[in-house]
Amino acid sequence: MADLKNVGDRYGGAIAAALFLAEFVQVPLVHLDIAGPAFARKAHALGPEGGTGFGVRTILKVAEAL
């Protein structure tokens, strides 16, 4: 067990995290980095500021298929 801080730049962090997990996790896994599109910094035509729910339906569909 370890606690690491992701200190990479904004755009390379998802790739670095996925590679780290692939190296050290010994079970099949899926890495979904949805932090960026999961939060809207301002209101827009498709919805208000805040949580967007991005990826929730995809995760549910995958879970249902298992």
Query: How high is the pLDDT of residue 47?
Result: 80
- Dihedral in degrees, nearest 10, Cα atoms 12, 50, 42, 53: 70
Query: How high is the pLDDT of residue 10?
Result: 61
Query: How high is the pLDDT of residue 49?
Result: 87
Query: How high is the pLDDT of residue 65?
Result: 94
pTM, two decimals, is 0.46
pLDDT in tens, the chain (66 residues): 556 666 666 666 777 777 888 888 888 877 777 777 777 888 887 788 888 888 888 889 989 998
Q: Where are the domains of the chain?
A: 1-27, 34-65
